[in-house]
Amino acid sequence: MLALYAPSPSAINGMAFDQEYRTNDLADSSPFHHLDLPYLQQQQQQQQQLQLLQGEVAELDPSPPSTAVTGDPTIIKKLSHNASERDRRKKINCLYSSLRSLLPAADQMKKLSNPATISRTLKYIPELQNQVQGLIQKKEELLSSISRKVDLIYQERHKKSSAWRSLSNVSASRLNDRELVLQISTFKVQKTPLSHILVDLEEDGFSLLNATSFESFGGRVFYSLHLQVERITDMKSTNNLNENFLSPY
């Protein structure tokens, strides 16, 4: 039979001392017993920053790294510098791309390098300047040509006006929507050729169907012209026919 007995006070004290010793020994053997909380937080922040930089490196360079990246501040600073350098080069490449877009289409198809782009641009600027000078000269020639044509038109209209002003009287009567009779009275001494009057009428959209003439006493000559009009909208009413013939001159 087993006998039950109570432990002695000395045994109890020995057990308590042994438990306290083991607890202290476990605390001393922990690797974090000498670290404080702020230091741990700083290490965590550096680790997070390192992970972000590693993510950026992985996006730009998908190849596996050759060496393991640690939380060394020197390596972190180097990675940050590399990221800034990549951004700078990206902006420069965008500027070169914009510059290439200003070159001729044939040069854009060649996919020029950055130095070649600068060289081609320096050659292209004088070419553009020559083109601009050529366009300016062409503009001046066109303006001069237009001015000469305007002068010729003015001279022709002045001659036409002089020919019609030499006539004593002009009257027109509409026969229908397409035909009219133009009666002209003048003096033989004024020597206004009928051919000039017919040319002027043809230029204004009239065609001659028939013509008669006779000479009266006092040297007066009468012409009766049967005309067909192409632009009947130019004459609004019979009362305004005379004004329509004489007002342009």
Measured CA angle at 113 (ends 107, 116), to 5 deg: 65
CB distance 184 to 227 below 8 Å: no
Mean pLDDT, residues 158-178: 68
Q: Round to whole Å and give the CA distance between 76 and 63.
A: 19
Enclosing domain of residue 111: 77-158
Mean pLDDT, residues 116-128: 88
Q: Round to whole Å and give the CA distance between 108 and 81.
A: 33
One domain for residues 150 and 85: yes
The pLDDT assigned to 242 comes to 56
One domain for residues 154 and 182: no
Residue with tokens 């002003």: 165
CATH number at residue 91: 4.10.280.10
pLDDT at 135 > cutoff 90? yes
One domain for residues 180 and 238: yes
CB atoms within 10 A of CB 107: 17
The tokens describing 52, both together, are 């972000």
CATH number at residue 215: 3.30.70.260
pLDDT at 187 > cutoff 80? no
63-89 pLDDT, tens digit per residue, is 554 444 456 778 878 888 888 888 888
Does 234 map to a domain?
A: yes
